[in-house]
Amino acid sequence: MAKGRFNTGSGPSQRQLRVGELIRRTLSDVLARGDIHDPELNRMSITVGEVRTSPDLKVATAFVLPLGGQHAEEALSALRRNRHELRRAVSKALTLKFSPEIRFAIDQTFDQMDETRRLLTQDTVLRDVAHTEDDEDDEA
């Protein structure tokens, strides 16, 4: 069966990944320089962890987190309030056919990593890992 030119897999295409990374870098630069005319937004230090784009590249979701993870809702509100100006800044810096609509969401990656670390330090998990390593040593 021949593959078509459209990605039918479950993950994003190389183009989506490339455009998402370009948007992420551009958004990070714009926010770091304070190019947006909102003093509240410019006071915040916001990390743009990832940008995911829709297959047609018309919608980009930026996963953000303010420094220290505090005041996340305020940061989200300020970004959403300035989304049109941020979209303009991104489209000005990039040469895309369409200027993507930018949506913002809180980046949960750090919380997920903390939960994974917590789970991996539980006694039952440590015991199972030690038991598995003992079994491998016996087989060798």
The tens digit of pLDDT for each residue in 39-54 reads 988 888 999 999 999 9
φ/ψ (deg, to 5) at 64: -125, 160
Do 94 and 120 belong to one domain?
Answer: no
Does 22 fall in a domain?
yes
Decide if 5 is inside a domain. Answer: no
SS (H, E, C) 7-46: CCCCCCCHHHHHHHHHHHHHHHHHHHHCCCCCHHHHHCCE
Q: What is the CATH number of the domain that holds 41?
A: 3.30.300.20
pLDDT at 25 over 90: yes
* Residue 108: pLDDT band with limits 50, 70, 90: confident
**pTM for the structure as a whole:** 0.70
State the residue range of the domain holding 115: 108-140
